[in-house]
Structures are given as structure tokens and as C-alpha cells.
Amino acid sequence: MYDFSKPQRQSVKGIAIMFADTLQGIIRGLWAPILLVIYKFDWSKMYFLIFGFLILLLLIGVIAYLKYINFTYFLDEEKQEFVIQKGVITKNNITIQLDKIQQVNINQSVVQKLVGVFSVDIDTAGSNKKEASIRAVDNQVALHLKNKLLSFEKTTIDILTDESSLETEKPFLKISFLTLLKVGITSNYGRSIALLIGFVGTLYGGFHDVVTSFEVDEEEVNGLVDRGLGYFSLSFFLIGVMVLVLLINLIRTVVKYFEYQMVIQRKALAITHGLFAKKNTLLKPAKVQITAFSQNFFQRKLNLFDLRLKQASSTDEAGTEGKSSNDIEVPGCSPAEKEAILQMILDKIPTTKEILKPNFRYLIKAILFGIFFPCAIFTFMGLFVFEALQSFFPVMIAYVLLMGMIVFFQFRNYRLLLSLDFITLKGNAWDVQHQLIEPFKIQGITTKQYLWHKRSDVVHLTFHTAAGDLSFKFANYSALKPWINYWLYQVERSNQNWM
């Protein structure tokens, strides 16, 4: 009854959906001019407007009809492919391998509900969801199509979810309240400071509004503030900010990761945490694309690691696994626990055979863009544009010292650690991070070489993985070439599933 083997059109009602889509697109693209026209319009010429509007609607109708006529899809059972052909002026031909399909979603928007059709969105790993979407089919067709498409799928259905409640094993990893406190104090300074700056910014804006709207004499207030804020109170204020940052950190960490627990259930990791909202996540080790762990100076003293497991980023299985983001974080674990998790996920503990350092040009670029240009711009502004800035020139010394330290540590930590089974990218000045990938999980490799780097044999390397790109810049090309060939060999001969 439902035969998808020949090119099919969508439901005739689909014209209405195409119409709505096109109209929406036009309004979204042209809302500013449209508003302007309405605002400036001479209402005595109303008829013109209505006439123009009708013509526009007619035009959209024609476009919608053409879109409908030119959109066909069919299932090639022999080649195991699903093919969508679309496009009025530019013809697009999308072919999807059936076993590459991650998920098929049947959705209904408000407009679709009005007309009584459904959209079928096919989710393949990696590409945009919108690429393969059939906008208007009847309910029955949608269900059958979904069934047909998914019946070729191999191993993505989890039986694990059904049994997870039955098994209660002893936790593989448990993070105590004390550890959470330690983590809260030692990590995520950057994020909390940004949060605080945003908060203070809005607060200051509000304060400023009050001052101007009540016509309080601004000079008077400023003078008061100046007198009040001596150096003593400034340092006091800074300490207050630091305490606040720590407090925000602590509360965030505790609320988010309260009673963090990791249990092994049939080769998968089940993770639960949260104070108010318990969050459950089920993770198959094979699905982890990038394993990252980081440690800053304080955490090193406390023997703590922050571990992050990155999964393929385009599969949103929020329904079954209840996660909002694809990153799974283990906020604080001891070295032994870290090793155990790595062992669990990677099957072996990474070793290092060769260490690649970046070229000194890395340092030059960082100094130019991090220190020299900002200072030059600041000096220029102070000398020629706002003379008031000149009194802040001493701040530059502190800035140069701070940035110099950051750049130095960044350069010292920026390394590519290589072994036959692992690629490790080490980096960052403060939170020293190691990002691990297994060569067979690479999706593609890009090298980029600028003309002026040719003679010095410098190249920028990028690994494309399903969880995002990893780049190592200013590498020695000659040292890298055999490795790239080796990784390609690893990927191409590997029959291991990358997820």
C-alpha cells in the first residue's frame, strides 16, 4: 500500500506548508524594510499596499507550488539508500545511506497541525538536521516511512534502559561532599568571574539609569565615590569580589553535582547527580569521542582532576537519556579514579612515544596579538583620542606582566603527545588540559599552511572528530607527515565502529 520505491511527492496539503515556510522566510529576511514601509506609509494609498500584498501572496503561492512539484523522495532498497530531490532553481539531490541514519523524528508544528500533516526529519550523524527533512506527509505515511527507514538500522536501540532499574551494583565512582567543596573552590574561576561581571554590569547600568532619570547631580555622586574608595577600600572590594566568586562556584558545583555517582551497568556507565533535579545519564564507552581531563595549580596540590567525556554532538537523544548537553563531566576525581575511568573508556592507559612542540612562531603570534597590539591601541587612544586614558597607563605594566605569564605558560603547556594508540593535545595556561582521541575515531584530517610558513616548515593541523575539531597550530610539518599517514592508515584499515 505504501510503496516508497518510486519517487514520491509530499501530501498535497504540503503546498500550504511550503507557502507558510516561504512567507516566514520572507518576513524573517525583510522584517526591517517591511516595518519601515508600514511606519512611513502614506495611508491614502492603501489600495496600492493591498494590491502589492496580494501580488506578493500570489508569487509566494507560485513558489510554494514549484517547491512542492520539485520535491520528491524515494527509497532505493537495492542500494539501501534514501534519496531526496528538491530545489526549484538550484537542484539538490540528497542521498542518505540507510545504516547511517541515527534517528527519524516525526514532528508537527503549529502550521502543520492546522493543515493536518507531519514532518519527517532524518538525523544522520554529523550533518545539519534540516538537510534531510520532509516537510509534509500524512500521519500514516510518516509512520510507515519511519518504520521502513529504521528497520535497516543496526545496533542503535538500547536494551540497557529497560534493565537499568533492576541492577543495583556498587558504585564505580562516588564523589563525596568534601570533594565537591574542594572542586567548588578550585575550579571554573573564569566562568564565575564572567557571570559576576555580567551581573555587576547590569546592576551598574540600572544604577546609572536611576542617577540620570532622577537628575541626581552626577558630579556629586562621583566625588562621593572617589572619596569613599581609597586604596584600602579598593583592596577590600577586590577581596569581596574574590569571596563572591568562590561562593558562586561552590553553590553551583554543589547544586549541580550533589551525590555524584557512577555505576557500571552492562558495559555502560550510568551517572546520576544533582541536588534539586536528579540527572541520569547513560553512556556507552564506545560513544565517547574525546576524553579530556584538566588540572590547575590548586587541583594539582589537592590531587584532583576534572574529567570530561565528549560524545558525538549531533545526536540529541534527550528523550531516552535525559541529557541537555553531550558533554559528560566528572567534576572531581583522584588520579586513581581518573586512571580507572580512562581504562574503562579507552581499554588502556595512554602512553607517550613522541612529543611535538609548537614552533617559536606560536610565541611571536601570541605576544603580538595578546600583548603588543592591545597595548599599542591603548597607547594610541590615550595619546591621540581620549587623553583621560593616560592616567591609566600604569595599568598596562600589570597587564603586560599578567599576559606575559599567561602566554609563557600557554606556550610551555602547548604540546601534542603522540603514541601509536592515542593522540593527546595538551594546552592552556591555568587549567592545563589533556584531550585524548583514539586515531580510529578521527573523521578527517586537515592541514593548513600559510605561504610564509612554507620555508620554515610550519603547518596548522586539525583533527575532525564527531565531537568537534581539535587543532594543533605551528607544528613541524616534516615531523607530522609520517604521523598523519599513520593515522589515515589506522582509520582506513580499522573496522572498529567509531560510535
Partner 1 sequence: MPFWKKESLTLRKNGFHNHQLKLYTLEEFTNSTVSFDSLPKFELVPFQPLNKNYLNVVYISNAIFAVILAIGLTLFIIFNDFVRSNVILWVAILIGIIALLFWLSNISFRKKGYALREKDILFRKGILSTTKTVIPFNRIQHVALHEGVFSRMYQLSELQVYTAGGSSSDLHIPGLPKEEAERIKSFLLNKITVLENVSNVIEEPIFPEEIREENHPIDESRSDSENETQN
Q: Which residues of the shown chain bind partner 1 in the complex (CB under 8 A)? A: 1-2, 79-81, 89-97, 99-100, 124-128, 131, 144, 147-148, 150-151, 153-155, 157, 159, 312-314, 420, 442-451, 462, 464-466, 468-469, 481-486, 488-489, 491-495, 497-499
Residues 361 and 357: their CA atoms lie apart, in Å, by 11
**262 Cβ contact partners less than 8 Å away, ≥ 6 residues apart:** 171, 172, 173, 174, 269, 270, 271, 330, 341
81-86 and 279-283 strand pairing: unpaired
Considering the complex, state which of residue 362 and residue 483 has its C-beta at the smaller distance from partner 1: 483
Considering the complex, state which of residue 149 and residue 183 has its C-beta at the smaller distance from partner 1: 149
CB 9 → partner 1: shortest distance, Å?
20
DSSP state of 267: T
Helix (H) or strand (E) holding 374: helix 373-380
DSSP state of 285: G
Opening angle at CA 448, ends 446 and 449, nearest 5? 150
CB 113 → partner 1: shortest distance, Å?
24
Please report, for residues 54, 363, 399, 434, the alpha-carbon distance to residue 370 in angstroms, rounded to integers and kept in the order given.
56, 10, 10, 23
CB 102 → partner 1: shortest distance, Å?
9
Considering the complex, state which of residue 92 and residue 233 has its C-beta at the smaller distance from partner 1: 92
Considering the complex, state which of residue 407 and residue 442 has its C-beta at the smaller distance from partner 1: 442
CB 79 → partner 1: shortest distance, Å?
7
Cβ count within 10 A of residue 264: 16
CB 40 → partner 1: shortest distance, Å?
19
Considering the complex, state which of residue 21 and residue 123 has its C-beta at the smaller distance from partner 1: 123
DSSP state of 456: T
CB 473 → partner 1: shortest distance, Å?
12
Q: How far is CA 451 from the centre of its chain?
A: 31
Considering the complex, state which of residue 121 and residue 153 has its C-beta at the smaller distance from partner 1: 153
CB 7 → partner 1: shortest distance, Å?
16
How long a stretch of residues is the chain? 499
Residues 448 and 473: their CA atoms lie apart, in Å, by 9
Residues 78 and 443: their CA atoms lie apart, in Å, by 27
Considering the complex, state which of residue 130 and residue 170 has its C-beta at the smaller distance from partner 1: 130
